[in-house]
Amino acid sequence: MRFTSTTVAAWLLANTDVAGAFSVRPPITPTYQVQGNSFSHQRLQPLKFAEVSGGMEELQELTDDKRANALEKQVRKSPSFWKLAGYATIPVSAALGFGLMPSRRLAAHAAGAIVTGVAGAIGKSRLDVITESAATPAIAQAIIDHGIDDPTTTAGYIREIQSKFGIVDDEEFEAMCADVYGKYLLGMVKNNPMTKTSEPKELENLKAALGLSNLMVGEAHGAAAAEWYRTTCLFTPEEDLEDPDHPDRQAMDKFLFLTERVLHRGGETPEAFKFEMTRVAKAMNLSLVEAMDRVTDVNEPFYQRALKSTRAKLGTNQVSQSTLEKARQSLGISDQTAFDMHISCLNEEVRELLGLKVADEEDRAEVDMNTAKFSEGALERLEELKDILGLSEQDLNYEITAEATPLYQATALAAIKDVLAGAGSPDDAWQKMEKRRKELLLPESNTRDLISSMVMQALGGPLEETNKFAKVNNEAAVFENLREALEAKQALISILKKSGWDEFDAFDKTFCDPWNRQSANGFLRSDERIKLYRIFLVRTVRKAGDGMITDEMYNTIMEVKGLLGISDDQAEVEARAAFGPELQKVCLRATTEIVADYTPELAKNMQNDIDEVITKYRLSEEFLREQGVVYYAKAVSQISDKAPGGIPTADMQNALLALQAMFKIAKEDTYAAHMEYFGPVYRKSILEAMGSTGVIREELKESLQQLRDRLGVREEDTKSLFLDAIEEKFVPMVKWINNEMERTMLNQKQLSQRRGKDMGEDIFQSGKIADGVLGLGAEVNIMGDIINLVDFYSENGIAEEREVGTKEVDGKEIPVLETSYPITAIGTGALDQEMAEYLYRQFVVGAFTAQGQQASRYEAARTSFGGILGLTSEKMEEINSTIGGTVYDNFVSRSMASKGTLDQQDMMFLANIQGKLGLSSEQSEKLLLQSQKKVLSEEINLLMDNPTPEGLKAFREKCNVMGMDLAEDVGVSTPRLVRMFESEIVPGLKSGTITADSSEILTEIQESLNLDPDECEAMFEAVLLRLASQAMGLINAELLRGRDENTVDLIKEIVRYAAFVDGDLGLTVDEATAYKVFNIYEAFDFSGVDPAQVETNKDRLATALGISQ
C-alpha cells in the first residue's frame, strides 16, 4: 500500500519512540537480533594510533564533507527513518522539521509541517539516491570507529550499514566499499609518500574488513591510479615525476609498490596480476617493465636494511634464514634479486673483516695492502652469515678469493721481484707467499693459479723494458735484456715448482700467449714482438765467430721465440729474410754453372755448397724447395733457348734432373716450367703431324708420345695442348660449313644483314642466284663437308667416354657411359645456337632423303654431329621429333586418303623412317598417333558438315579398326559425340531400319562411340519422344486437311516408336482425334502379319493415344 503525507505525519506524532530518534541527543544503544540472540554495543571512539594513517585521514575528510546538504546529513544520522520514508512521499518541510527540531518541540513543528508540507514532496527515487549516497561516508566512519586491526569484527559493522541503508544489491554495496578502499589508498599515498613495510598488511586488513574480491580491489587500484595521476599532473610537471627525490615521484613509486604487494598477496593468477598491474602502470603513463622496476626500487632498500641488521646481529642467535624468508615474502623480493643482494651482503662482510672500504664508506682511509688480513674467528663469522643467507660454500670461497687475491698478489709480486733483482732466493719468496695465503684464508688449491698470474706480471716487466730499447733501435740493449728475461724465466720456474706446477714444456703456451692480453707479452703488438725476435736472431749470428748457429745458440733462439710468442711460420719468415740471400746466392751459382756445362762432379760440388748454407743457418728444406722452383724455371728457360728446335738433348735432360735433386724438387713441381717453355714445341709438333688432312696417323701418335716424355710435359698438359691444336683446325672447318649454309639459305640482302656487310651478288655454279628459300633443299652439297668434320673429330679421338652412373643388366651392375665433346662449334664461338640447330636439321633431312650406303653413313654420324655442334641430347631429340612429325603427317595423310587405314607395308615404312631419324619407339608411336589424330580430326570435321548414317558408321568402324578412341585419341568433344549419335539413329528410326527388334544396332553405336550407357539411354528416349511428337503433329495436319491416306506411314512410325516404350510416348491427343487415328490403323491391311503382333501394336497405339479399346 502507499502512505499519504498526512498519514505518515500523524503516525510520527503518535509514536513517541520515533520522536526521540530525531533529537540531536546522543543515540541510545541499539539492540540487534541475530539468529535468536540479542546483543548491544556502545559507539566506539576512534582508535588512537601512535601515528595516524594517511588512509584514515582521507576517510576522515570523506565523513566531514561540508558539501553535503541538510537532507543528506539527516539521512546519515537516521538511515532507518529514511529507509521507512522511502515507502511514501514525504513533505519536505515535514521531513526537515522532524529532523532538525529538538524533541520537546516535535509536536508543534510536526503539525506545522503537515500544513506546509503540501507545497513540496520528496519522491521515493530521490530518497533512494540520497540514502545510498550517504552509505559511503557511513562505511568510512565504521572504518574510523572500529579500525582494521581486527578486520573480522569491522566487517560485521560494515555489513550492518548495508542493512540500515536498505541497499539490497550486493554488487552495488561492494562498489561503495571499493570506493572507500580507493579513498583509503589515495590517502596513504597522498598524505605520506614514504613507504612503510606495514602498509601492505594494512591494505590487506582493509580489504578483508570491506569484504572485497580480488576483482574489486583491482578495479579500486586502477581507478585510484588514474585519479592520483590526473590530479598530480595538474600541479607537478612530468620531469619532476622522473626525479627519484621528488615527493610526488616517491608517492607514485609507493602506489606501485602497494599495488604489487596487494595483488600478489591476494593470490591473483599470473595472468590477472599482469592485467591489473599493467592497467595501473598505464594509468601512470608507464610500461609494465618500468612499473616493476619502480617496485624494485622501493622494496630493495627495505631488504637491504634487513641484511645490514642481520650482519649486526651475527653471533646473537636473533636472526635466522626463516626470518629473512618472511621479510622477502612480505616485501616481494624475487629469488634472483635476493641471491644478488645476499652475495653483496656477504661481500661487504668479507671486506669489513679485512678492514677494506665498503661502498658506503667513502671517507674511510685505505688500508695497507701488505698488512690487511682476517682476524681470529673471522671464518666462523662468515660461515654463520653464509648459512643464514642460504649461500653455498663455493659462494663464500669466491667472495674471499675475490677480495683477498689482490692482497696476496701484492705480497707475491714483491717477493718475486726481490728474486729477480737478486735480493732473495726462490725459497724465501715461497715462504712469504705461503704465510700470506694462510692469513687471507685462501685455499691451498688456488696457489698455483695465483702464482701463475704473478708470473705473467713479473715476466712482463723485463719485456716492457726491452721494448723501450727496441723503439730507439738500441740492439745491444735489446739483446742483453732478452737474455736477462730468459734468466728471470728460470727463476720463476723455480718458484712455480714450489706450488706443484710441473708443466714446464707448456710454459710458453701458458704464460706467453700473445693473443691473451693478460699474458707476459700480451701488451706487445705483433710488429713489436717480431722486431725483438729479429734483433736477437741477427745479433746472435753476428756474435758467432764463424757465423755458424750452434746447437746452444739455436736453443737460446728458440727460447726467445717462445718467450715472445713468435709462431713457427713467422720464425721461418724471419730466418728466410735474414739468411735467404745466402741461399739464393748459392742456388743461382749452381743453376748458372750446371746449365752452362753440366758434369756429375759439378753437380756434387754444388750440392755440398747448398747443404752447407742450409746447415749453417738452420734453414728448412721447404725454403730450399721454394727457392729451387724459381731457379729451376730459369734453368728450363735457358735450356729451351739453347736446345735445337726447342727440344733438349740428353745432357740437357741430365742437367735438369741434377737440379731437381739438388733443390729437393718433386716431379710435380717441374711441370709448370716445362709446360711454359716446352709446351709450344709440343703443340707445334701436333699441328705438323696433322698435315693437310687434319688427322694424325697412328705411326705419328707414338712419336708424339716419345716427344712428350722427352720434353717432360705431363699427360694432362699434353691433352690441353692437343685440344688447342685441334681447335685451330676445327674452327675453320665449321666456319666453312656455316658460310655455305648461309649462302644456301639466305639471299643477298639477308646474308648482308646477318654478316653486317655487303656481300655482293652470289652466283652458284649453275648460274642461279640464291633465292632465299628457307627450306630443306640446298644448292650446295654441305653433307660431304659435315661428314669430313665428323671423321676429323672421330679419327683424332677427340670425343671422350665418361661414366655417368650404373645400371643393372642380368643381375650385374654395369657402368653407363656418356660421350662428351670437349670442343664444340658453339663452345668455340664458330656458330651461334640458331645456326647450329639449322645445320643439324639440314643434316637430318639430308640423311633421311639419302639412299643406300651413304644413307647409313649419315645416320651413323647424326648423333656425333649434333654433339660436335654443341647441341644437347634434348635439343637433338626435339629437332628429330619436329622433322619426324612433318614426315609422319605427310605419309599418314596420303596413306589414309588412299587406303583408309595403315596396312603392314605402311607400318614397315614408318619403322624405316624411325631408324633414319633416330627416333625411339615411344617417340615413333607418339608421332604416329598424332598424325592419325590429325587426319581423323580433319575427316570428322568434313563429315559433320553434312552427316549421313553411312558416313558416320564408316568413320566409327575405321577408328575402331585403328584402335582409336573417338574422345581420347581423336579428340572428338562430348557434344559432337551426342550429335553423331543422333545423326546416325534418327534416319534409321524414321525409316524403320532401327526397330525395337533390332535394338542391338543402338548398342553397337553406343559402344563404338564409347558413350555412357545411362546417358545414351536418356538421349535415345529424348530423341524417340521428339520424333513421336513430330509425327503426331504431321498426322493432325493431314487429318485437318482431310488427307487421311497421308497418315498411314506416320501412324506406322508412331507404332514403331511405341514398341520401344510400351506405348508411353508422352503424347497429348484429344479423344476424337485419338479414336480417328486408331480407327484408321484398324482399317490397315494386316494380311501376312501375325495376328498376335497386330493386337499388340493396337494396344501400344491405344496407350500412346491415351484411349482404351
| pLDDT (tens digit per residue) in 569-623 | 898 888 888 888 989 999 999 999 999 999 999 999 999 999 989 888 888 899 9
Least confident of 72-81, 211-220, 1002-1011: 72-81
Rounded alpha-carbon distances, angstroms, from residue 648 to 559, 588, 640, 712, 928: 50, 21, 7, 10, 66
What mean pLDDT is predicted for residues 42-46? Answer: 38
Q: Check residue 771 and report its DSSP letter.
A: -
- Phi, psi (deg, nearest 5) at residue 777: -75, 155
SS3 423: coil
**Grid cell in block for residue 873:** 641430347
Q: How far is 252 from 1063, CA to CA, in rounded Å?
A: 101
SS3 807: strand
Q: How confident is the model at residue 392 (pLDDT cuts 50, 70, 90)?
A: very high
Q: pLDDT tens, 777-793?
A: 443 468 888 888 888 88
| Predicted structure pTM score | 0.46
What mean pLDDT is predicted for residues 731-739? Answer: 88
What mean pLDDT is predicted for residues 978-1006? Answer: 81
Q: How confident is the model at residue 664 (pLDDT cuts 50, 70, 90)?
A: very high
Least confident of 23-37, 412-426, 623-637, 1000-1014: 23-37
The segment with the largest mean pLDDT, out of 626-635, 706-715, 861-870, 973-982, is 626-635
Q: How far is 377 from 184, CA to CA, in rounded Å?
A: 51
Share of the chain above pLDDT 90, in %: 19
What mean pLDDT is predicted for residues 408-417? Answer: 84
Share of the chain above pLDDT 70, in %: 80
Q: How confident is the model at residue 75 (pLDDT cuts 50, 70, 90)?
A: low
Give the model's pLDDT for residue 892.
63
What mean pLDDT is predicted for residues 239-249? Answer: 90
Q: How confident is the model at residue 928 (pLDDT cuts 50, 70, 90)?
A: low
What mean pLDDT is predicted for residues 732-757? Answer: 74
Specify whether the CB–CB gap between 706 and 671 falls below 8 A.
no
Q: How confident is the model at residue 526 (pLDDT cuts 50, 70, 90)?
A: very high
Give the model's pLDDT for residue 1.
38
Greatest pairwise CA separation for the chain in angstroms: 159
More confident residue, 363 or 917: 917
More confident residue, 1102 or 72: 1102
What mean pLDDT is predicted for residues 1015-1033? Answer: 87
Q: How confident is the model at residue 719 (pLDDT cuts 50, 70, 90)?
A: confident
SS3 803: strand
SS3 65: coil
Q: How far is 999 from 1003, CA to CA, in rounded Å?
A: 7
Cα torsion at 178, 184, 185, 191 (round to 10°)?
Answer: 160
Give the model's pLDDT for residue 177.
94
Specify whether the CB–CB gap between 610 and 582 falls below 8 A.
no
Inform me whether the pLDDT recorded for 126 exceeds 60: no
Q: How confident is the model at residue 772 (pLDDT cuts 50, 70, 90)?
A: very low
Q: How far is 994 from 1001, CA to CA, in rounded Å?
A: 7
Average pLDDT score, the chain? 79
Q: How far is 28 from 40, CA to CA, in rounded Å?
A: 10
The segment with the largest mean pLDDT, out of 462-471, 953-962, 1005-1014, is 462-471
The segment with the largest mean pLDDT, out of 354-368, 845-859, 1035-1049, is 1035-1049
What mean pLDDT is predicted for residues 161-186? Answer: 90
Burial group, residue 473, by CB count within 10 angstroms (0-12, 13-18, 19+) = exposed
Give the model's pLDDT for residue 517.
85
Give the model's pLDDT for residue 300.
87
Burial per residue of 485-524, b for 16 or more beta-carbon CB atoms within 10 angstroms, e otherwise: beebbebbeebbebbebeeeeebbebbbbbeeeebbbbeb
What mean pLDDT is predicted for residues 957-975? Answer: 75
Give the model's pLDDT for residue 93.
41
Least confident of 476-485, 839-848, 1095-1104: 839-848
Specify whether the CB–CB gap between 583 and 623 falls below 8 A.
yes
